[in-house]
Amino acid sequence: MLSMTLLSFLFFTGLVIILTWWFTRASDLNTDEGYFLAGRSLTGIFIAGSLLLTNLSTEQLIGLNAGSFNDGLSVMCWEVIAGMSLVVLALVFLPRYLKSGIATIPQFLEERYGSSVRALTAGIFIVAYMLILLPFVLFLGARGLNGMLDLQELLGFPNELSTIWGVIIFIAALGGGYAIWGGMRAIAVSDTFNGAGLLIGGLMITFFSLQVVAGDEGGFMGAFEKIKEKDPDAFNSIGSADEGTHWPTLFTGVLLLNFFYWCTNQQIIQRTFGAKNLAEGQKGVLLAAFFKILAPLILVLPGIIAAYLVIGIGDPEMMQAVGKNEDGNWVADRAYGALVSQVLPKWLLGFFAAVVVGSILSTFNSVLNSAATLFSLDVYKKYLNPTASTKSVVRSGQICSFVVAVFAVIAAPLIFFGQEAIFGFFQTLNGVYFIPLLAIIMVGMFHRFADGMSALITLLVGLGLMVIGTFFTGEDKVNKIDGWLADTFGSPFHYMGAVFALLIVLQLTLSAMGMKRSEPYVQEDKGLVDLTPWKPAPFVGGALILLVLGIYALFAF
């Protein structure tokens, strides 16, 4: 079993590396656009694949299934609502981004507000990627692989923490190779191959899990009935008041975090900046939206099944694999790895482990490339060495990638080991910078007179309010968002919504008081890509929004 697992793992991982090399062997990595934006040559299929795989990493695969283990179907909001956000990206934001010919969001903010806003936002993105996103992806990936393959026993590590350290270092070394030496095109191509593997592997886990629940009779519908009998609220899309994603949060923090992530987050939308033209960009974004709406089949349903096996019927193997913490609560982020280990045929474990590693690498190397892009173009070339050659700019990005990777490896176990409700904790950390940045971007998009000073003040005030609301709200502070925040707003996501509204009002007020441009902002067309839209895009976008609403209505009661 061990040799078959290792062989299938090495075969699939090696196959992706070889295919990526073959498809990118002629890529130009010696220019800014070649390294950071794949030479603006990406077609719809590669954009969709890279969008999905950059997002579908262990933060969803393990973290979101951990959320559904605790709260059921209501956590699907992080995936299904993403479909609506991507429609907005395709129809509203992407045409503006491509018109400006930008490589980074801070570049857009400089065009709109000035160089000070560009420098501050670039720094915020880099630090957040280094201390929040990458550590989270690495930690959950290491824990998930340990649960699937029992690496602690296999490799002889003395405890879970040391195993996590070892796996994190391995993943970071492998992922760094793609990002540092391969550039954006290598990332986009490898993402597409790994995306196909993740789709196949994820559906297999769901299929085999439902078979285990159904047993010898009843079929899949019988499996759903068994789960619903044990937990009537398991398939309720709107959630209950004691869950973190109760339906009112859809209109406050959940919606805002989702909207920022898919429309303005450098890590995600950088691959859309590399689109061959607007039509290809819209095709890729809308195709990704369709798959995001269906993603709960892979990212939510297995967690519900794991909860049924552990809590509903008390399966002894699953109970032992998931385990409880010192407070007597189930360690939900072990649930997905335990489920995979139990339901997947042993000869497929290596394949799926390779898929999981691929999903981790996808997010890891994409974020490293985004951090490198931000540092090289928004800091190094702008401030440190304005006359730098293109080779020097690319080299500065490679050095930045290495430094960010090292810090992320160190931070991963220190920040997330021992945390409860880890996916919700991760989202509250994201809110610290998501909410203030989204506020100034939205005002900049739709208010032509707001100036850079009003944006700087709004951004700094927003960061202060979010730090206070996230870390100084009760005795437990980081592990639980409670105290006056919970008492006043009922949810950290409602607090985010209140802060966002306050920041919009603040910047508009500052603009009305005199902090405004002397002339209205007019966006310049840089003429770098063909901006002819894909004609069916509005109709496809409308159909996707109706699909989202239909899914929520179907599972609302």
pLDDT > 80? residue 422: no
**C-alpha span between 277 and 40 (Å, rounded):** 8
State the pLDDT at residue 141. 79
Where is average pLDDT lowest: 160-169, 325-334, 358-367? 358-367
301 domain residue, yes or no? yes
Cα diameter, the chain: 74
- Residues paired with 42 in a beta bridge: 275
Mapping DSSP to helix (H, G, I), strand (E, B) and coil, where does residue 463 land?
Answer: helix
Number of domains composing the chain: 1
State the pLDDT at residue 487. 52
Whether 284 and 42 have beta carbons less than 8 Å apart is answered as yes
Give the residue with greater pLDDT, 283 vs 26. Answer: 283
Residue type, 260: F
Whether 239 and 247 have beta carbons less than 8 Å apart is answered as yes
Q: Name, of 195-204, 261-270, 312-321, 353-362, the range with top average pLDDT.
A: 312-321
The confidence band for 255, taking pLDDT boundaries of 50, 70 and 90, is confident
Q: Express each pLDDT in 436-455 by its tens digit.
A: 999 999 999 889 899 999 99
79 domain residue, yes or no? yes
Mapping DSSP to helix (H, G, I), strand (E, B) and coil, where does residue 450 land?
Answer: strand
Question: Alpha-carbon Rg of the chain, whole angstroms?
Answer: 23
pLDDT > 50? residue 33: no
**C-alpha span between 295 and 266 (Å, rounded):** 22
The confidence band for 1, taking pLDDT boundaries of 50, 70 and 90, is very low
476 domain residue, yes or no? yes
Domain boundaries, position 399: 2-24+43-520
Joined tokens for residue 239:
């959630």
Helices (H), 419-491: 422-446, 452-471, 484-489
pLDDT > 90? residue 484: no
**C-alpha span between 67 and 261 (Å, rounded):** 19
Q: Name, of 68-72, 148-152, 417-421, 478-482, the range with top average pLDDT.
A: 68-72
548 domain residue, yes or no? no
pLDDT > 70? residue 314: yes
Place of tokens 């629940």: 213
314 domain residue, yes or no? yes
**C-alpha span between 414 and 41 (Å, rounded):** 40
The confidence band for 345, taking pLDDT boundaries of 50, 70 and 90, is confident
Half-sphere exposure of 227 (CA within 13 A, CB side): 30
The confidence band for 479, taking pLDDT boundaries of 50, 70 and 90, is very low
Give the residue with greater pLDDT, 475 vs 413. Answer: 413
First to last CA, the chain: 45
Kindly state the average pLDDT of the residues 228-250. Answer: 81
Q: Name, of 80-94, 178-192, 254-268, the range with top average pLDDT.
A: 80-94
**C-alpha span between 353 and 300 (Å, rounded):** 19
Q: Burial level of 206, CB count in 10 A (0-12/13-18/19+)?
A: buried
**C-alpha span between 292 and 298 (Å, rounded):** 10
147 domain residue, yes or no? yes
Whether 133 and 139 have beta carbons less than 8 Å apart is answered as no
Query: Across the chain, what does the average pLDDT equal?
Result: 82
CATH number of the domain enclosing 342 = 1.20.1730.10
pLDDT > 60? residue 408: yes
**C-alpha span between 60 and 300 (Å, rounded):** 9
**C-alpha span between 405 and 372 (Å, rounded):** 11
Residue type, 255: L
Q: Express each pLDDT in 195-214 by its tens digit.
A: 677 778 888 999 999 999 98
530 domain residue, yes or no? no
Kindly state the average pLDDT of the residues 64-84. Answer: 91
37 domain residue, yes or no? no
